[in-house]
Structure 1
Amino acid sequence: MNSHRGLQAWQVIVGGIAGLVLTIGIARFAYTPLLPLMQAQAGLSDAAAGWLAAINYLGYMSGALLAATLEDARWRQRLYSWGLPLSLLSAVLMGMAGNVWLWALSRYLGGLCGAAGMLLGSGLVLNWLMRAGRRPELGLHFTGLGLGIVVSALGAMAMSALALDWAAQWQGFALIGLIFLLPAWAWRPPVPPVSATAQVAGSGPGRRWMGWMVAAYFCAGWGFVISATFTVAIVERQPLLAGQGPWAWLLVGMASTPAVFLWDRVARRLGELLALLMAFGLQVVSVLLPALSDGLAAALAGALLYGATFIGIVSLTLALVGRRSPGNPGKAMARLTLSYGVAQVSAPALAGAMAQASGSYRGALWLTATVLLLGMVILAQLRREGVE
């Protein structure tokens, strides 16, 4: 572990970004552009697609539960390290056979890896930034989420152009992931010194504040997962839009990558809670656009707005709770994320069943907009209480 102590700031940031591409972009997001192909070639139904997404988030929630119990910084870094190569294994398993049980195992493993990257990795990066006396924001770090989407979209588009089938594309993503494994492994955030952790171990957010944030983040999780899972499938199913789905997913990634900087600046000027309210409101619009119109413009505008807003909600919320728990940011993030995980398990399964029953995702989109509006009510209440 001592070999990591000489890392420069740019190495810690780049390593964290590469880790997110692996644990989220490959282990989780590759499923979204490959979903229509798996439905066409491997006989995956809408309901099964939704359940696989739910199993992925069950794995994510299991990882969050584990992260919420970890006090030892060495174990936080160790489990984050394990999540990096296991992300590649999840992609390999996905392409091995048309077996729904093997797919379920892959999605659960991918969820565990996602929790390692999002919670343990992000917590280690934020802790390092605070100890180094740098601005404790995660905007730059979370460009890895947008980049992960871009990698998953461009990878799927390139492999489709080569006429690779669904199984070969999953194996291709495992090979692509090797490119990101090297910097992610070499530049893992160093373990915080025991003395630095002990000095601030007693600090943390109040129970009432945390309760409101948990409720709001549940709503954010619901809004996130419907679009993250079904964006490509929604576009592909619309008349005259067949083949355009990967472009919508690419647009999500291209919008989210620079948006993190914008949301950090908005939060500095207006405060985090008002910035979060704005992000929630714009995400409601992003969900309603494809629900109200079957046109390509509405689908792409919705994808653009979704990409620009979900990243802000995640980055602002996790950084906010992490700063309030400087002794163990990853543990605090994990506790908050459990509610996000509950939404991520329930929402795609319900949306898939609704789509299977009705032949359309429109009902699921209207339900998602309602849940996001509830999240805005909760954030407004938190602002009225005057606690930032």
Structure 2
Amino acid sequence: LGSVGVLLAIPAWCWLPSPDTTGISEQGQVLDDKPPSRLFLKLMLVVYFCAGFGFVISATYIVAIVENQDELRGQGEMAFLILGVFAAPACIFWDLISRKTGILNALLLAFIVHAMGIVLPVIGHTLWFALLSAALYGFTFVGIVSIVLTMAGRFYPTKPAKLMGMLTMSYGVPQIVAPTIAGYLAAATGHYDASLLMASGFVMFGSLVILAIKKWASKDVDLLESTS
């Protein structure tokens, strides 16, 4: 599979268009960067940190979580397959949701559903709970990333990587720390319930921070929505 990926990467690289540095949209509009306030940026870094924490525990251990339950032995690969199937179209759906509800409302919804998906295996130990968890998790983690990166592009249309880099760092740091903590908790308890509750708790805290952004950085939210 790795070799196939390398072969497919060659034509993809050749067909990759050159970056547009004109600063003008396809409609002829001049693109202006509209940086968010420091408060908005700090809060959003916390939000994305929480997203990274919630993402990585399920991503790392989802197969083990399923296989660790006697009645679900042999179903771990099925759960991972369901995760991928629901993740594939997620960007399209969350873009549509963002257009209908507003980008920050869509992000809040994605966080809430994401937290629910993470905690489902704790609530019920049946195959249906495991598969529903995988489906909700796959559908939302891709959506969260796509929404946040779209947000960065709206604030910095001429150089979106400026904000994307900071956000990605915030998203990546917990992906180093969280699996280690989850592994210790699993070793101490013999199951992953505490790890999943911790991950879901971080995501729910991120939801509260999104509400704080809506209240305390409303000008940035209005600016964000006006650039859609």
TM (normalized to structure 2)? 0.87
The corresponding residue for 1:185 is 13
Contact 1:204 1:326 in 2 (8 A): no
Give 1:308-319 correspondences, 5 Å limit: 308-319=139-150
Whole-Å Cα distance in 2 between the matches of residues 345 and 300 of structure 1? 26
Whole-Å Cα distance in 1 between the matches of residues 7 and 191 of structure 2? 38
**Percent of counterpart pairs with the same letter?**
40
Specify whether residues 216 and 300 from structure 1 end up closer, same or farther in structure 2 by C-alpha distance, changes over 3 A only: same
Contact 2:114 2:136 in 1 (8 A): yes
The corresponding residue for 2:27 is none
Whole-Å Cα distance in 2 between the matches of residues 345 and 251 of structure 1? 25
Q: 1:196 aligns with which of 19, 23, 31?
A: 23
Where do 4+ consecutive residues of structure 1 move more than 3 Å? 199-203
Indicate whether 1:266 and 2:94 are aligned.
Answer: no
The Cα shift of 1:179 comes to: 4.3
Give 1:203-352 correspondences, 5 Å limit: 203-352=34-183
Whole-Å Cα distance in 1 between the matches of residues 42 and 189 of structure 2? 36
The Cα shift of 1:202 comes to: 5.9
Whole-Å Cα distance in 2 between the matches of residues 184 and 229 of structure 1? 28
Structure 2, gaps ≥5 residues long: 25-29, 222-228
Per-residue deviation, residues 221-244 of structure 1 (Å, max 9, x unmatched): 111111111111111111132221
The Cα shift of 1:254 comes to: 0.7
Contact 1:239 1:294 in 2 (8 A): no
Whole-Å Cα distance in 2 between the matches of residues 294 and 363 of structure 1? 14
Specify whether residues 335 and 299 from structure 1 end up closer, same or farther in structure 2 by C-alpha distance, changes over 3 A only: same
Whole-Å Cα distance in 1 between the matches of residues 157 and 33 of structure 2? 9
Give 1:106-145 correspondences, 5 Å limit: none
Contact 2:33 2:155 in 1 (8 A): no
The Cα shift of 1:203 comes to: 4.3
Contact 1:235 1:241 in 2 (8 A): yes
Specify whether residues 383 and 286 from structure 1 end up closer, same or farther in structure 2 by C-alpha distance, changes over 3 A only: same
Specify whether residues 200 and 293 from structure 1 end up closer, same or farther in structure 2 by C-alpha distance, changes over 3 A only: same
**Residue type of the alignment partner of 1:299:** A
Whole-Å Cα distance in 1 between the matches of residues 114 and 56 of structure 2? 12
TM (normalized to structure 1)? 0.53
The Cα shift of 1:252 comes to: 0.7
Indicate whether 1:380 and 2:211 are aligned.
Answer: yes
Q: What's the C-alpha RMSD, in Å, of the aligned pairs?
A: 1.8
Structure 1, gaps ≥5 residues long: 1-172
Whole-Å Cα distance in 2 between the matches of residues 228 and 360 of structure 1? 16
Contact 2:90 2:142 in 1 (8 A): yes
Whole-Å Cα distance in 1 between the matches of residues 193 and 52 of structure 2? 19
Whole-Å Cα distance in 1 between the matches of residues 98 and 213 of structure 2? 16
The corresponding residue for 1:108 is none
Give 1:71-150 correspondences, 5 Å limit: none
Specify whether residues 174 and 280 from structure 1 end up closer, same or farther in structure 2 by C-alpha distance, changes over 3 A only: same
Q: 2:190 aligns with which of 359, 374, 383?
A: 359
The Cα shift of 1:359 comes to: 1.7
The corresponding residue for 1:176 is 4
Contact 1:205 1:321 in 2 (8 A): no
**Higher relative contact order structure (alpha carbons within 8 Å, sequence separation ≥ 6):** 2
Per-residue deviation, residues 41-64 of structure 1 (Å, max 9, x unmatched): xxxxxxxxxxxxxxxxxxxxxxxx
Whole-Å Cα distance in 2 between the matches of residues 213 and 231 of structure 1? 27
**Residue type of the alignment partner of 1:358:** T
Whole-Å Cα distance in 1 between the matches of residues 77 and 111 of structure 2? 24
Whole-Å Cα distance in 1 between the matches of residues 4 and 191 of structure 2? 33
**Residue type of the alignment partner of 2:35:** G
